[in-house]
Structure 1
Amino acid sequence: MNALRLVRTGFVAAAGVTAVLALAGCGGGRDQRPSGGPGEAGTPLSSPTPSPTASPVTSGEAEGSWVGLTDGKPVSVTISKGHAVALADAHVCQGTARGTNPVTLTLTCGDGYTARTEGSARTDKGKLVVTWTGGTKDTLRRADTP
């Protein structure tokens, strides 16, 4: 197995696991205070506000897992049912994907990484081209699935 295929396979597996966790809603919770006044154990710190009824929507060819190399470093983006996960530079970022072509990506990275948090993704000749705010551009191809 050549090195590029090994890197691709590893990123596909990591992207799949991360996407499943993101779509399952794991890892988050409400801000809560253990005791005292507003926000007392189990009570949210802020009053509930109605959330928009329209959920993020993506469709078309951008759905799926995409992999590639940018500046010689592996990058992976997975888009599924309005959610997105990006793996790059040893960072995992997740958030929403809205639209069809282009798809607007709005991600958050738990470690404060910001190079791939806002971007626009377009499919072009079987590739996904993601242009991130700040100038980074990833050209990815659909991940091979076993």
Structure 2
Amino acid sequence: RRAYFNETNELLSQKVNAAIASGLIPIFCIGESIEQRNSNTHLEAVRAQLKNALFHLSAAEFSRMIIAYEPVWAIGTGVTATSHQAQGVHNFIRSEINKKYGKEISENISILYGGSCNPQNAKELFSCLDIDGGLIGGASLKAADYSAITNSF
């Protein structure tokens, strides 16, 4: 939505506020472009998204969130982050949450992986310490693939 609809962190922040005010549990997707990944600025991009879109929330509000790490370069491409890359970003997200909201919230918030998860990589990704599950896209359209992913837990 950031790329295709020019949605800013500020606009996304307003949407999160509206969702929380309505009693919904927002799933907030963050991730980096291939240019940011290749220039080693991907963690700064992720930090900026957290800070500018979510870190205004109270601890109680933030604890109701679900975060999904979706590397933009992997969405719908069939290319996925390695488990090492995904775990690194998930760990970074959790550490940033810990700095802002403390250990209890950082350990209990769900951080999902959403970058082209499939039956071939699900078990390896979901075995990573900081990856709590998947935000499954195209693979959910085939019952056999979705079943294989859910059985990898």
Fold match (TM-score > 0.5): no
More helix by share: 2
More strand by share: 1
Larger radius of gyration: 1
- Structure 1 length normalisation: TM-score? 0.26
